[in-house]
Structure 1
Amino acid sequence: MRILVVCLGNICRSPLAEGLLRHHLAAARLGHRVEVDSAGTGGWHAGEPPDRRTIANAAGHGLDITALRARQLRDADYHEFQWLLCADRANLAEVRGRAPVDAPARSALLLEWAGLGQGAEIPDPYTGGPEAFEHVWSLVDRAAQAIVQRLADRTRAIDA
């Protein structure tokens, strides 16, 4: 399975989700079965590392995301990934609006797909302080754990 996490600039929410999903997938020994990447609907930060505050917040929890680099969503993503999981409704609308007609990828809100609430969104912490980044960590970590559990259950069913 291939999952792409999408937010606005790919420097706060989506790289954190990418890092957390990879971490929890590896811990569950599913890293070889699920590929995770992230992108932004905008390209302003392409090639840049995650926001320094996101890096600091992740590091405070023992997660190193310094090697990740921002990139913009591209048409090929709709063919290379099965799921495009979006941070908020604006990102979801943008992702769906840009989808090529023949795109097989499906899109959804990340928190909703994780089972954490109908219409649940991850707020953008960019203009907030440390508490905003910590809140995003909490939401995304819970979502990543729930997604890994969902995929582990599916894998067990397939392997049975």
Structure 2
Amino acid sequence: MKAQVLFVCLGNICRSPMAEAVMRHHVKEAGFDSVIDVDSAGTGDWHVGHPPHEGTRKQLDEHHISYEGMRARLVNDNDFGQFDYIVCMDNNNIRDVRDLLERSGMRGDAPKQIFTFMELLPERGIADVPDPYYSGNFDYVYELVEAGCRQLLLKIKSDLSL
């Protein structure tokens, strides 16, 4: 069995591509790249086709994590049938994803799990990964993404009995 993970944020240039790249890195390091696929998408179309934001790229470069070939895209109806885990970076994103799922009519083919990223880190006591597009705080977002991706990998390994 293969696990398919989709990270979702608003524009798909800051948080979700950062999570995609970090998760891919951890999956590869763990030797699970043949059983776990990772992607990201956005709920807004402003940046479709663009590479990750320079602040995201800087963080990933500092940690020697590849983002090669990554381009922003929109969440689409096919994602609901393809992905097992849809991980939304904030509560607005999860609301938008659930609205899209409802409109798609694919409830029966819905992913196994749709949840917010910060549900992976309940000890942090925050509901949303803050959007660094507005705050510029890419360091803090990277810290959250790094910790959350490690937890998600443990969760998937447990779910798949790896």
- TM-score normalised per structure 2: 0.88
Aligned to 1:85: 87
Residues of 2 paired with 1:93 and 1:107: CA distance? 10
Give the 5 Å matches for 1:46-85.
Answer: 46-85=48-87
Q: Which residue of 2 aligns with 1:27?
A: 29
Distance 1:47 1:90 in 2: 22
Shift of 1:66: 4.0
Query: 1:122 matched to which residue of 2?
Result: 129
Contiguous gaps of at least 5 residues in structure 2: none
Aligned partners of 1:7 and 1:40 also within 8 Å: yes
Partner secondary structure for residue 108 of structure 1: strand
Structure 1 contact 111–121 (Cα < 8 Å) conserved = yes
SS for the counterpart of 2:114 is: strand
Deviation at 1:82, TM superposition (A): 1.4
Secondary structure at the aligned position of 1:126 is classed as helix
More helix by share: 2
Identity of aligned residues (%): 35
Which structure 1 residue ranges, 4+ long, deviate > 4 Å from structure 2?
A: none
Pick aligned residue for 1:110 from 114, 117, 128 = 117
What is the root-mean-square deviation of aligned Cα atoms in Å? 1.5
The corresponding residue for 1:7 is 9
Q: Which moved more, 1:102-111 or 1:50-59?
A: 102-111
Which residue in 1 is equivalent to 2:100? 98
Q: Alpha-carbon deviation of 1:50?
A: 0.3
Measured at CA, do residues 119 and 93 of structure 1 come closer, stay the same or move farther in structure 2, by a change above 3 Å? farther
Distance 1:119 1:134, change over 3 A: closer
Deviation at 1:151, TM superposition (A): 2.1
Q: CA deviation at 1:11?
A: 0.1
Does 2:152 correspond to 1:147? yes
Count of residue correspondences: 153
Contact 1:28–1:148 (CA under 8 A) maintained in structure 2: no
The alignment's TM-score, normalised by the length of structure 1, stands at: 0.89
Distance in 2, Cα, partners of 1:31 & 1:45: 28
Q: How far 1:65 moved relative to its partner?
A: 1.4
SS at match of 1:35: strand
Q: Distance in 2 between matches of 1:66 and 1:22?
A: 12
Matches of 1:92 and 1:74 in 2, distance apart?
Answer: 14
Cα deviation, 1:14-43, whole Å, max 9, x if unaligned, reads 000000110001111111111110000011
How big is each residue's C-alpha offset from its partner over 1:65-110, in whole Å with a ceiling of 9 and x where there is no partner? 1421000111111111112110000000000011023232231102
